[in-house]
Structures are given as structure tokens and as C-alpha cells.
Amino acid sequence: MFALLSSYYTEGLEYKRPSVINLHLISGLSLVFFGAILYLLGEQAPILTIFFVAYAIFSICVGMTLPVWLNYLVNIFSERKSYSGMGFMLLTQNLAKLSSSLLIVKIVETYAFSQTSSAIVFLGVGILFCGGGFFFLLTKEIPSVPIIDKQARRPFRRYVQKTVVHIFKNRNFLWFLAGDMDFYIIVTVISFYANYATAFCGIKSSIAAGYFVSFLYLGAIITNILVGSLDMFAPRNKYVVSKCASMTALLLLTVFGSQWSFFLASALMGVARGSRMVVYPPAIKKLSGQTDVTGYFAVAPILTIPFALALPMAFGSFLDYFSHLDGDAYRIVFLVSLGLILGSMFCILRVDFQNCQTTASGS
């Protein structure tokens, strides 16, 4: 919800880079705060309370950062180079994530999940997050919208209302949102499948904590290169590849329970997430038909909140209620997820990625 505030206050700014940097700093500092409190308070600290407070702060900060950052990205890349630009950027991110996941394997194996080691990880991540924001100073921003006089700024309620109305009139974009729901399905599966592996398939916790994540990023790296940097496939087909990878991963999790199947499923889910991250920002820019799409980036996740919240809660409740089924409960969840992704495939095939005209007006 806080994304609406950042999109509102950055609407019409000639240059958005200062806002992007400042919001990255705030997000990073929330991680530093959690790591510092975790380190200083010691074993007597109320860990869960601190975690949920820090996680709430981080979620608010990232929520404010994302729409401004995504709008910034799609405007520093030309339309022709947007997919390859996103691919190269995400490729470097995922290479760093792969390295860090391997480091986490060693930390978990050596120190387990001790409070001190966890605090050091969060401190390190927060500092790197803050430092990374300054590299936006090396990018070149071309202003794409006129400056809006602060005195003439429309009320916040009017801004939100006009953005929502514009989105609901864009039927093509609504089909796209429905077709993008598989992202939340895969995120939900990723939240549960490691527990399934360790509880019912005999996989070690250190492997699930580290190597599963490594293969997720490895799959993302592969797809960043193919559908991003090399710009293979048309936009719709990029999504089709993503969904096929997701459904194959869910079949592997349902039918097999060995270590290799979890590694391969992790890589395929990484392919799905990696494809989506490459396609999502340029697709919204193109389908919105606008130059400043900060409002679209802010409102779109709010429109999908009912599904994004209900799905993990429903799956979690199902797994708790039918815990007597052991691993079969998880396999039922995977099969239901596969069916939902198949439905999202139908929606994405209805999207017209070609006949979209860009206007200079904001939302």
C-alpha cells in the first residue's frame, strides 16, 4: 500500500534518480537495523517480535522503492533494448545471489542458525544493499515527463482513483495481470517445498537452505541469458516458457522425491521466476501505453492482493489441517498449483503484446 505514496510523490518529477537512491538506502538500513539489534541484544532478545517488526519496516520500504525503481529501469532502456537490458542487470544480480547462497551453506554448516551468525548476515546484506544504491549515480537518466507544479498537484485520492480507472479500462492489461498470477503460485511453492524435502524426503537442512537456493538462482541465470540478454522469443512466448518450466517443476515435485529431482525442480522454478522478472517491467510499460508508469507499478500488486494473500494462507491451512497425510498433502498442493498455472497460461495467450500505443501523459 505504501507504494502508492511513493508513486504519488514522485509523479511527474523530471528526474527520479535521487528518489530511487534514497529509497534504496532506507530499505537497506532496515536490514542493518535488524542485524544490529539481533547482534547487540544477545540470546535473551525476543527474536520473533524483532523479526516481524523489522520485516514490516523492510516490506514498507521495499514497497515504496519498487514502483519508482521499476519505472526508472524501463525508462533508461529503450524499448528495443529493454529485455536485453533487464537480462544483463538481473544476470549480475543472480550471479551475486548464487555466490551468497553458497556462502550461506557454509555458514549454516559451520554455525547452524546461531543468532550471531544470522545477525552478521543481515548486517552484511543491509550494508551491501545501501552501497549498491549509489551505483545508480553511474546511470544516465533522460527525463520523459514534464515537471508538475507541487502547488497544482492533484489530491492523493484523485490520483489513485484515476490510475485505477485507467487500469480497469485497459482490458489487455487485465488479461496480463491474470496471466501473471503464476508468479505468486511459484513463490508459494518455494515457501513450502523445502520443508517437504527435509520432513518427508530425507534431504538435509543445509542442502535445502543452500543448494536449493543455488539451483533457483542457477535457473534464473540461464533464463536471464536466454530470454533476457540474448532476447530470445517474443514477449508472450517468454511467458509460455516460464509457465512450462513451472509446471514441469511441479510434476517433478509430485512424482519424485529424490535429491536430483529437487535440484532440477529448483532450477526450473528459477527459470520461471527469472523469465518473469525480465518480462514484467517492459511488458507493463508497453501495455500501459504511458511514459510514466509508476502508478501502474504501484497499483497492479494491490489489485492482485486477494490472490497473493489468499493462496499461501489457503495452502498453509490445508497443510496444517491435513498433516496426517504427511507428504501426500504437499503433493496435493503441488497438483493444485499446476492446475492454477495452466489457467494462467490461457490468460496470457489472450494478451496482445503488439498493438500498444505509448502516450506522453501520465496516469
H-only helix segments in 289-326: 294-303, 305-321
Is the Cβ–Cβ distance between 90 and 235 less than 8 Å? no
CA 253: distance to chain centroid?
Answer: 22
**Cβ neighbours of 134 (radius 10 Å):** 11
pTM: 0.77
**Residue ranges of domains in the chain, CATH in brackets:** 2-139+153-348 (1.20.1250.20)
In tens digits, what is the pLDDT along the chain, a chain of 363 residues? 788 888 888 877 778 888 888 888 888 888 898 888 888 876 666 778 888 888 888 888 888 888 888 888 888 887 778 888 888 888 888 788 778 877 877 777 777 777 777 888 889 889 988 888 888 888 887 775 554 555 556 788 888 888 899 999 999 999 999 999 989 999 999 988 888 988 888 888 878 877 888 888 888 888 888 888 888 888 888 888 899 999 999 999 998 888 899 999 999 999 998 888 888 888 898 888 887 888 899 898 888 888 889 999 999 999 999 988 888 999 999 999 999 999 999 999 998 887 665 554 444
Go through 291-305 and write b for each residue having 16 or more CB atoms within 10 A of its CB, e for each that does not: bbbbbbbbbbbeebe
Q: For the purposes of burial, counting CB atoms within 10 Å of the CB of 237, is it exposed (0-12), middle (13-18) or buried (19 or more)?
A: middle
